[in-house]
Amino acid sequence: MIVQLNGKIEHKTSTEVVIECGGVGYSAMISVNTSEKLPTVGENAKLLTLLIPREDAMLLFGFADEAERNAFRLLTTVSGIGPKIALGILSSVTPGELARFIIGGNLSSLKKMPGVGTKTAERLILELKEKMVSLSSETGTKDDISFLIKQEALAALTTLGFSRMQAEKALNIAVENQSSRSFSAEELIKTALKYARQ
């Protein structure tokens, strides 16, 4: 299994890169976001990869970081999303943005992504919501992560019978009263429950 390439970039477009490793050139399909992060032709680069065997070909996909590779793996578990559609999605949004849309149940934003219709967007939310929460710790800024935690807590409070307005108000108070800048969804829910019942 080829899990990463480390060598000189011989060729690069917005959707493909060829990296020479030990005299052998490996071609990998990439997202536009990964292409933008890679250096120019002639420079050395490290690329995380995923090899997908097919009956008629061995397809190699490349990623700038682990968060994008994990997001790609999750996307391709959803019925109707193949590797090429997954790359298209990851070309239009970052893993952090994708996680926010799915956890927040944002159908309209998901439907704007290439290859995603209403039914596929609904499947993404249904099948990946919980998995995306765990992915969120890998997707960049603390603001991204705290947003995801708030969304998880909001979903939990509405499931417990509170209106969205009650839940959001309680969560805002809870966040303001957190002694630490970092907190888990469970801690936030417990704190918010005190204010939601008032």
Start-end of H helices in 4-57: 32-37
Phi and psi for 45 in degrees, rounded to 5?
Answer: -150, 155
Residue 87, token pair as written in the block: 């790359």
Mean pLDDT score of the chain:
85
Quick check: pTM over 0.85? Answer: no
Average pLDDT over residues 172-177: 82
- Helix%, strand%, coil% for the chain, nearest 5: 55, 20, 30
Which tops the pLDDT comparison, 154 or 47? 47
CA 80/CA 51 separation, integer angstroms: 20
Q: What is the pLDDT of residues 146-171, one digit of tens each?
A: 666 777 788 788 888 888 888 888 88
Q: What is the pLDDT of residues 87-132, one digit of tens each?
A: 999 999 988 888 888 888 889 999 999 999 999 999 999 999 877 7
pLDDT band for position 56 (50/70/90)?
confident
Q: Which residue has the tokens 């700038």?
A: 64
